[in-house]
């Protein structure tokens, strides 16, 4: 809490403007934040939950470069967590992402992105869903390369390759590697209606362990009702060779709705149903999930956000069935152009037919962010 008070004091007497450091055609921005969090279940435990106050110290940087036909964006953060009552859980987390885009010609584009994270707890409800319970460190690195071409005024094609590596600090969890290739096409019927088609092949390998492959075919539509409001739906089928060498043909569905209502309001709603090879278990995860989010600027300096998640999933071979429900809501207030105070609350609950996987968690955070 002392760190938080210190930064709040700095907010009232400190910087008047946001500074960007220019390096040639690149802009560099540096930020720091201090957050105090109360968490009533730091180990995601089903019984004997541990509570603690956690001081989060963060140092981040953003670098943006814009050329005539290319661009580069980089974002990175170092985050130190200090636990008041459980010092053995103190840790340093890191995350960074970089994306490079290149226009090869008037009709051709190429991009490559790398995203890396090292942390000791899930960063989102999506990461939390289907996860082995408990507190443990993980490393994840995802590289994606993509190419797209406008073959005509109405049609565009794209191809991408993804490599993902997940490793864990727990000895009972196997490291996992994913390689995937995707092909897609978009056909524009009108400015309001776009037809979609796609094919994806993926292989997930556990070490130690075995592997599973998926061939996915899908078709869909993106319908614009206004320039900002659109609905996108896809349906298809997954042909799966599972970790136990059994073959499955299973349907997949996805639906999403998004709108930028005005300059101060944005919302999104999505639904997904599929058989999924996740990074936690050598077993197919038969899941469906629904999520929603709303961002609203309430006043000139006061913003708000809320998101909700519900998911149901069952591991096919083991029969383990999980339900995750959660909500995340918060407010942020601009003290000055470069100083922001935020208040956030997160609730998540997993129910399961395996009692040791069940838990409830509440976390409340108050913090200050300063952009230099």
Q: What residues have CB less than 8 Å from 88, skipping those under 6 apart?
A: none
Does 6 have pLDDT greater than 80?
no
Averaged pLDDT for residues 72-98: 97
Place of tokens 């383990």: 320
Task: Summarize pLDDT for 273-294 with one digit per residue, the tens.
Answer: 999 899 999 999 999 999 999 9
Averaged pLDDT for residues 16-41: 83
Does 13 have pLDDT greater than 70?
no
Q: What residues have CB less than 8 Å from 293, skipping those under 6 apart?
A: 267, 268, 269, 305, 306, 307, 308
Question: 228 in the Ramachandran plot: left (φ > 0), alpha (ψ -120 to 50) or beta?
Answer: alpha
CATH T-level assignment (fold) for domain 2-259+335-371: Porin (2.40.160)
Residues 55-80 as b or e (16 or more Cβ within 10 Å = b): bbbbebbbbebeeeeebbbbbebebe
Residue 154 CB neighbours (<10 A): 13
Q: Which residue, among 34, 4, 29, has the nearest Cα to 18 in the 3D structure?
A: 29
Averaged pLDDT for residues 148-158: 96
Averaged pLDDT for residues 67-86: 96
Average pLDDT, the chain: 92
Model confidence, pTM: 0.89
Task: Summarize pLDDT for 101-110 with one digit per residue, the tens.
Answer: 999 999 999 9
Q: Enter the tokens of residue 122.
A: 């899930």
CA–CA separation, 167 vs 146, rounded Å? Answer: 25
CA 179 to chain centre: 19
Q: Determine whether 251 is exposed, middle or buried from the number of CB atoms within 10 Å of its CB (0-12, 13-18, 19+).
A: exposed
pLDDT at 19: 53
The model's confidence at residue 304, banded by pLDDT at 50, 70 and 90, is very high
What residue spans define the domains of the chain? 2-259+335-371
Task: Summarize pLDDT for 111-152 with one digit per residue, the tens.
Answer: 999 999 999 999 899 999 999 888 999 999 999 999 999 999
Does 99 have pLDDT greater than 50?
yes
Determine if the peptide bond prior to 208 is cis (ω within 30°).
Answer: yes
Task: Summarize pLDDT for 330-353 with one digit per residue, the tens.
Answer: 999 999 988 999 999 999 999 999
CA 33 to chain centre: 20
């Amino acid at each position: 809490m002392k760190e938080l008070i210190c930064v709040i004091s700095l907010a009232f007497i400190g910087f008047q403007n946001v500074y960007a450091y220019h390096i040639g055609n690149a802009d560099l921005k540096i930020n720091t934040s201090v957050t105090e969090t109360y968490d009533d279940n730091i180990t995601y435990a089903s019984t004997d939950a541990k509570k603690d106050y956690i001081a989060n110290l963060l140092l981040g940087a953003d670098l943006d470069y814009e050329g005539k036909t290319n661009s580069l964006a980089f974002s990175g953060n170092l985050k130190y967590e200090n636990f008041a009552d459980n010092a053995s859980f103190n840790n340093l987390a890191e995350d960074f992402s970089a994306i490079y885009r290149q226009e090869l010609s008037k009709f051709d584009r190429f991009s490559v992105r790398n995203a890396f994270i090292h942390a000791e707890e899930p960063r989102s409800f999506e990461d939390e869903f289907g996860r082995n319970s408990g507190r443990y460190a993980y490393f994840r690195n995802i590289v994606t390369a993509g190419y797209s071409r406008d073959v005509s005024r109405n049609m565009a094609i794209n191809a991408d390759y993804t490599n993902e590596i997940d490793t864990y600090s727990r000895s009972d969890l196997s490291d996992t590697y994913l390689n995937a290739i995707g092909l897609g096409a978009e056909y524009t019927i009108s400015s309001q209606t776009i037809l979609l088609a796609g094919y994806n092949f993926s292989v997930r390998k556990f070490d130690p362990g075995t592997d599973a492959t998926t061939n996915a075919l899908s078709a869909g539509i993106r319908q614009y009702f206004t320039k900002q409001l659109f609905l996108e739906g896809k349906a298809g089928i997954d042909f799966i060779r599972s970790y136990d060498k059994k073959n499955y043909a299973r349907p997949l569905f996805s639906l999403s709705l998004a709108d930028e209502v005005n300059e101060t309001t944005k919302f999104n709603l999505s639904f997904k149903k599929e058989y999924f090879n996740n990074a936690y278990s050598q077993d197919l995860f038969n899941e469906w999930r629904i999520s929603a989010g709303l961002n609203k600027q309430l006043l000139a300096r006061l913003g708000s956000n809320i998101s909700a998640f519900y998911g149901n999933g069952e591991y096919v071979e083991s029969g383990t069935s999980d339900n995750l429900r959660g909500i995340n809501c918060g407010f942020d207030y601009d003290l000055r152009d470069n100083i922001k105070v935020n208040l956030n609350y997160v609730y998540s609950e997993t129910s399961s037919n395996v009692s040791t996987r069940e838990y409830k968690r509440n976390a409340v955070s108050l913090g200050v962010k300063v952009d230099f």
